[in-house]
Structure 1
Amino acid sequence: MKIAIMSITENGKSLAMDISTDLKNDPTVIRVDLFHKNVKQNLEAIFYSYNCIIGIMATGIMIRNICSLIKNKKDDPAVLIIDEKGQHVISLLSGHLGGANELSIKIANLIHGESIITTATDLNNKLGVDYLAKKYYLNIDNISKVKNINSALLNNEMVKISINSKYKFIWEDLDVKKSYNKINNKSKDITVSNNSVTIHLKPKKIVVGLGSRKNVETISVVKAVKAALKILNLPIERIDSLATGDMKHKEIGIINAAEELGLPLEIVPTKLIKDFNNEDINYSNFVIEKFGVPGVCEPSSLIAAGEDSNLIFKKTPYNGVTVAVAVSKN
């Protein structure tokens, strides 16, 4: 997640710096930038360049300045509001698809404040279909129908889900009432319906990129992958493949780990990595000197995930293994 934190007062600026420091240690936070004052101009310049905008200011100030920028549920970034004393963290916009609700809880815990969430499904301990789409990286074919399905969930109405057995964990998240019905099929797409309303959810491609020291043990690679997925709260079944650079294509530990995890291993040519440009990649002087490329796990994951893919887990070392996770745009 790329996060912009905006402040107006000096107290707000200080709080923004503290939050930024904490978030930079979170492997799921790819980038954090701070903006002080000039709220209107900054919002107009950056609103769709970040996954989340955090405003340390009065709620009214943020609302007045984003009202002309908002497009729709699918495209709008998450917007959070925090008072300058850090007492309340308000999920203001894009609570589910943008992840504002979840992030408000995370930040409230960091600053010892209170998370304020107003979405009906959360308040009634129900998981909305848009929440599941965010959690498991699924594209929704028709955002306008989400409210119909969520209303059905809230009212304990019959909701049917047609799902490949590989993704049964999604059904298990939804299965909180006996009235729900599960139907298996062979398609990767997931269908959720209530009466005449149907939503199709298409899983995006998720790739775990790997780098490692020479002769790394299989168990180290497996543990590293599982540790990253635990932080992302994703089951191994949701991952589409592992990826590494061809300088590691004979690394037995990585090859065996892919087999043990039941995932295909994609080998990315060194030339593609060398020519690949992405502002989110962390450059390693050691890797540049040894292989002539800026890194292995991050560019491998991004290239394998496809054009315009994004990092959701930045390069993180685990006992001789580096892990990064990328997700496709569609």
Structure 2
Amino acid sequence: MEHELGIWLVRAEAEALGERLQQQLGGDLLRPWLVTEIAPLEQFRRVFGCYRQWLLIMATGIAVRYVDGLLQDKRSDPCVVTVDEAARYAIALLGGHEGGANRLAQRVANTVGAIPVVTTATEARKPLVLGIGCRRDVSEEAIEAAVRQALGDASLDLVREVATVSVKANEPGLLAFCERYQLPLRVIALQQISDRPWVSEPSEWVRENLGVDGVCEPAALIACPRGRLAVPKTTLNGVAVAVVLDSWTPWV
């Protein structure tokens, strides 16, 4: 029987991290040290095909050795995401598009505040990051209208990801917009935005409600730290959008 997500711990020291990820993402938390009669690597080989997605809490070098010899076809192999024990990076290692590793890496990153590492060519050639802030219960249509206003003549196809503040992580209209256009949503902690208050025009409303001067500009710049602010904050019907252009693109 095939299961959805397996979370594999290589060391007991990562158990707290594994439990937090399981609480948010679901799946099975696998602790190989509990089975003393079978080596951990052999245990993994026996169950590799039983899951559609794998989250390996270990160094990428160890992960490569774990999957060595197990892969058959990218259209049917489980996807693999690795995260280090300090939860700094969530790396889409295998099955980025076909298996859903890119999306899983984003979900892991949003759960623990890690940096998602996505290296598939399609995403690498998209130079724009959107920062979006919005009022509560703003519709998907309002968000799209504000985004298209900010983009001007630029296509949504050039957008790599959307960034917002943690308190907006479950905003229905924003989630629906991202889902419709298959845009990853990067969640930036409110404290990070407070520590990096890069805003061209402070908002009194945002300051009163969130305690920071703005959301869309700092969220986009944190998500793309080597980028530059191509379009400062624009607002429309309760939605604020900023556009950041990655400085390392074929067009720059």
The alignment's TM-score, normalised by the length of structure 2, stands at 0.48
Which has the greater radius of gyration?
1
Greater RCO (CA < 8 Å, at least 6 residues apart): 2
